[in-house]
């Protein structure tokens, strides 16, 4: 299914395929559908659909210095831990005895113990010990009747993933970049105070690049120009793992990788640009965890390079002094758009144009997949075949450079990679130690 949204007049022969989304005079989203698509709690249609996918919730390296972390995911308060055997578990935030906060518990060789009366639980939710009951009434088997809510967790790509859906769980996608070598990877979080859907709609909105990232940045620097080349033509195409979007800007031909290959709105809640993923993980209906996995290929003369630890950091969203949203970095600019749309935007007020064709396509796919899971089918981009999951290839416009490498001089000249040598351009707040580790990996002067 290919859908073109063009600012230049299409040739007269162009006619959208029958299954194309209607992009002109598209119906506004009615209040019921808006609520349906934005509600993520258990038992809601969209919440149940999103629970069919693994969600990144933390970084492995966060557990080098701590063993327990409270997390909130799709409206559920949970406790993520790494026990003394190195096994991760994700259990309810509250103890089934008398509701104490499990994130203040302590880990054992196997499992997590509540700090209030010592009940111990394993990663499957079984109660392994009830210290007093085990002495006072060992024959009662009380602990065999107790379970704490528990969800599976796995680690891939330096991230910890959680699955809150029905069994059997699909596989955690092994996206191709997770298998790449000779790269410096960093994981970046941000707490964004709005619903997840508008964040994900941004993943299929190529036009904003011109205005929000290019032209606004020009004006933020107190410059009147020059402005970025204009978008002339957009196309959106659904594929197995999401929607590919393609663009032609002034000065570009249809041979440009941004048209021939494009970029990816990755299912169900991410953007994939080639060297980085950005997941929009629903914390609850009104908050989203932004999770970035960013790969920087080291220069050829630094190979072979093996990264010992993938650092993770959390960037601020607001300026400390004014409380205004930060606008200096690429994703912070996106946050300005998302938060500015309102905690949960009233989509009945929208006026969608041709540039929004991918957004309409995405919403329609979600609505169809809500029906699919009600019929007992798997939704889009469910991966169950281990052979397929050995390495899932994705469209990558800059594939050659990322997989074969470049010299430092070539990286410096690259329109996308060059800027990153002097700063982490995607998000504000990179800690000095992460910058230093990056500079060391890249062979930059300290």
Residues that bind ligand FES in the complex, under the rule CB under 6 A: 95, 97-98, 100, 114, 116-119
For residues 108 and 176, which CB has a smaller minimum distance to ligand FES in the complex? 108
Count of residues in contact with Fe ion, rule CB under 5 A: 1
Distance CA 63, CA 70 (A): 12
How far, in Å, CA of 376 to CA of 398, rounded?
A: 38
Assigned token pair, 357: 């064709």
Query: How crowded is the C-beta side of 261, counted as CA atoms within 13 Å?
Result: 15
- Which of Fe ion, ligand FES, none lies near 334, with the C-beta cut-off 5 to 8 A by kind? Fe ion
Q: Rounded to the nearest whole angstrom, what is the least distance from the CB of residue 84 to ligand FES in the complex?
A: 19
**Rounded distance, CA 349 to CA 29, Å?**
9
Give the shortest CB-310-to-Fe ion separation in angstroms.
23
Sheet architecture: strand order including 159-162: 55-59, 159-162, 153-156
Q: From CA 196, how far away is CA 203, in angstroms rounded? A: 11
The rounded distance, in Å, linking the Cα atoms of 207 and 247 is 9
Q: Which is nearer to ligand FES, 114 or 437 (CB)?
A: 114
Q: Smallest gap, in angstroms, from Cβ of residue 114 to ligand FES?
A: 3
Residue number with CB closer to ligand FES (50 or 150): 150
CB of 417 to ligand FES, least distance (A): 51
Q: How far is the CB of 63 from ligand FES (least distance, A)?
A: 23
Which among Fe ion, ligand FES, none contacts residue 366 (Cβ within 5 to 8 A by kind)? none
Which C-beta is closer to ligand FES: that of 97 or that of 435? 97
- Work out whether 334 is an interface residue with Fe ion (CB under 5 A): yes
Task: Kindly tell me which of 129 and 410 has the beta carbon lying closer to ligand FES.
Answer: 129
Q: Collapsing DSSP states into helix, strand and coil, what is residue 6?
A: strand
Q: Which is nearer to ligand FES, 111 or 242 (CB)?
A: 111
Q: What residues contact residue 24 under an 8 Å CB cut-off, 6+ apart?
A: 354
With CB under 5 A as the contact rule, which of the stretches 80-88, 181-189, 332-340, 380-388 interacts with Fe ion? 332-340
Q: Which residues pair with 294 in a beta bridge?
A: 186, 276
Q: Is 194 in contact with 172 (CB distance < 8 Å)?
A: no
Q: Report the candidate in 351, 367, 314 with the shortest Cα–Cα distance to residue 28.
A: 351
Q: Residue 238: name its binding partner from Fe ion, ligand FES, none (Cβ under 5 to 8 Å by kind).
A: none
Q: Which is nearer to ligand FES, 130 or 332 (CB)?
A: 130
Q: Which stretch binds Fe ion (CB under 5 A): 21-29, 229-237, 238-246, 327-335?
A: 327-335
Look-up of token digits 């994700």: 90
Do residues 246 and 253 make contact, with C-beta atoms less than 8 angstroms apart? no
Judged by the rule CB under 5 A, the positions of this chain that interact with Fe ion are: 334
């Amino acid at each position: 299914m290919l859908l073109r949204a063009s600012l230049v007049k299409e040739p007269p022969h162009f006619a959208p395929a029958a299954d194309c989304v209607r992009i002109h005079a598209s119906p506004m989203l009615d209040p019921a559908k808006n609520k349906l698509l934005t509600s993520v709690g258990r038992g809601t249609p969209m919440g149940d659909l999103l629970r069919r996918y693994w969600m990144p919730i933390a970084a492995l390296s966060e557990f080098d210095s701590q063993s327990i972390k409270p997390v909130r995911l799709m409206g559920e308060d949970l406790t993520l831990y790494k026990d003394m055997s190195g096994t991760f578990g994700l259990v309810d935030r509250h103890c089934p005895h008398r509701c104490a906060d499990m994130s203040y518990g302590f880990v054992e060789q196997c499992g997590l113990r509540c700090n209030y009366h010592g009940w111990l639980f394993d990663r499957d939710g079984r109660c392994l010990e009830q210290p007093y009951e085990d002495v006072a009434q060992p024959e009662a088997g009380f602990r065999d009747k107790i379970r704490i809510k528990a969800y599976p967790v796995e680690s891939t790509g330096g991230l910890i993933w959680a699955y809150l859906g029905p069994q059997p769980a699909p596989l955690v996608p092994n996206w191709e970049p997770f298998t790449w070598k000779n790269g410096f990877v960093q994981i970046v979080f941000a707490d964004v105070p709005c619903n997840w859907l508008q964040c994900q709609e941004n993943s299929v909105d190529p036009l904003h690049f011109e205005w929000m990232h290019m032209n606004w940045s020009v004006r933020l620097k107190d410059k009147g120009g020059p402005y970025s080349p204009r978008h002339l033509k957009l196309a959106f195409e659904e594929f197995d793992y999401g929607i590919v979007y393609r663009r032609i800007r002034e000065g570009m031909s249809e041979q440009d990788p941004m048209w021939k290959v494009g970029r990816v709105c990755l299912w169900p809640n991410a953007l994939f640009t080639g060297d980085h993923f950005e997941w929009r993980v629903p914390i609850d209906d009104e908050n989203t965890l932004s999770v970035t996995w960013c790969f920087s290929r080291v220069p050829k003369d630094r190979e072979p390079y093996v990264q010992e630890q993938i650092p993770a950091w959390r960037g601020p969203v607001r300026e400390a002094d004014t409380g205004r949203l930060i606008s200096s970095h690429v994703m912070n600019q996106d946050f300005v758009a998302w938060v500015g749309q309102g905690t949960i935007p009233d989509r009945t007020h929208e006026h969608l144009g041709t540039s929004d064709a991918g957004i309409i396509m995405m919403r329609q796919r979600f609505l169809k997949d809500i029906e699919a899971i009600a019929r007992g089918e798997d939704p889009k981009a469910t991966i169950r075949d281990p052979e397929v999951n050995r390495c899932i290839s994705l469209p990558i416009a800059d594939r050659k450079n990322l997989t074969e490498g470049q010299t430092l001089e070539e990286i410096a000249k690259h329109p996308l990679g060059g800027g990153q040598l002097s700063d982490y351009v995607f998000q504000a707040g990179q800690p000095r130690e992460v910058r230093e580790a990056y500079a060391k990996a890249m062979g930059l002067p300290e």
